[in-house]
């Protein structure tokens, strides 16, 4: 069947269309993506404002039209931290449902971590042993660890690159004292979770997903996207540590000119790099591998599993 996954994230609204059936690898057929940046459209009270809701409804309509054009039989719609954390989340969901017919499922942070872990496990297989999976989104950071397809530990922290940029780094380039304050905040939050994972022992393989990690790996010399998903891409901590101060001294426009960095994400790359550096340092990770699959693929795989059981 042709399946569509509609991901209402903190940065983008992304419709991924795949050709899939139970027991087979889902094959990407079409991608429709709009940079909405919901995490940056919050009012002072933490609500998504009327303009933000109007734009979301409009973008969902666009995604539905794209799905129809591509012959999608079923759409699995979900939302992550931007909607989950909004004070008026219920109102947002109601508007979307009433005006588009789409019933967005709001994933918890732990569900995000578990589904992303499932995608990484299926990509790398059982031979990868104990996996530590790290994902930096626009609104949150997810970390999961385990030997099976369900992780033994999974956490979500409000350390997304977009959220931190909006709340902690107002300057362009940011002030040195703001960068130091964010560094302390990031590492304090991450350090609280380390003990939950360390009791399971060292992982055999550390992997990362998300646009942030892909861009950081590209800066560190990893092959570009044109080389395809099967080329190994890795990020070493020493390379990342060298890039963080360089990114801190750049404007968003200057970062946008770097190889592999999109103009739309350049403004939040520094915050994402600081989170990545903090995770790798506090978890004792010297190198990690980039996984092409992430949350959307995890949602697809879970849906296919349920179809197979049925």
pTM above 0.85, yes or no: yes
- Distance CA(231)–CA(222), nearest Å, equals 9
Q: Mapping DSSP to helix (H, G, I), strand (E, B) and coil, where does residue 172 land?
A: coil
What pLDDT score does 247 carry?
98
Task: Judge if the upstream peptide bond of residue 173 is cis by omega within 30 degrees of 0.
Answer: yes
Of 212, 273, 211, 221, the C-alpha closest to 246 is 273
- Burial of 269 by CB count in 10 Å (0-12 exposed, 13-18 middle, 19+ buried)? buried
Within 8 A by CB and 6+ apart from 239, the residues are 219, 220, 221
Longest dimension (CA), the chain: 56
pLDDT of residue 41: 76
pLDDT at 264: 87
* Residue where the block lists tokens 């589904």: 115
pLDDT value at position 25? 86
CB neighbours of residue 63 within 10 Å: 25
Per-residue model confidence (pLDDT) at position 310:
60
The residues of the chain scoring below 70 in pLDDT are: 308, 310
């Amino acid at each position: 069947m042709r399946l569509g996954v509609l991901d209402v994230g903190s940065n983008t609204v992304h419709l991924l269309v795949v050709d899939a059936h139970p027991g087979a690898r889902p094959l990407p057929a079409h991608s429709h993506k709009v940079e909405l940046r919901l995490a940056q459209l919050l009012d002072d009270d933490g609500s998504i404002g009327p303009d933000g809701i109007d734009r979301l409804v409009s973008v969902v309509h666009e995604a539905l039209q794209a799905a129809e054009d591509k012959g999608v039989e079923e759409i699995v719609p979900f939302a992550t931290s931007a909607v989950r954390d909004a004070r008026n989340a219920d109102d947002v969901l109601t508007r979307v449902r009433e005006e588009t017919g789409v019933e967005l499922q709001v994933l918890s942070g732990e569900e995000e971590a578990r589904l992303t872990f499932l995608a990484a496990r299926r990509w790398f297989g059982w031979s990868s042993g104990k996996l530590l999976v790290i994902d930096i989104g626009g609104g949150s950071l997810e970390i999961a660890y385990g030997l099976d397809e369900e992780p033994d530990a999974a956490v979500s922290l409000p350390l997304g690159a977009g959220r931190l940029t909006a709340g902690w780094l107002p300057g362009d380039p940011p002030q040195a004292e703001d960068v130091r304050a964010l560094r302390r905040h990031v590492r304090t939050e991450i350090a609280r979770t380390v003990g939950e994972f360390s009791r399971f022992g060292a992982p055999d393989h550390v992997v990362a997903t998300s646009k942030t990690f892909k861009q950081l790996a590209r800066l560190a010399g990893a092959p570009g996207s044109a080389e395809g998903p099967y080329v190994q891409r890795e990020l070493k901590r020493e390379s990342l540590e060298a890039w963080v101060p360089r990114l801190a001294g750049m404007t968003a426009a200057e970062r946008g000119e770097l190889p592999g960095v999109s103009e739309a994400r350049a403004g939040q790359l520094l915050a994402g790099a600081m989170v990545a550096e903090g995770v790798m340092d506090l978890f004792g990770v010297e190198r990690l591998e980039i996984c092409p699959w992430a949350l959307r693929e995890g949602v697809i795989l879970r849906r296919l599993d349920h179809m197979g059981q049925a």
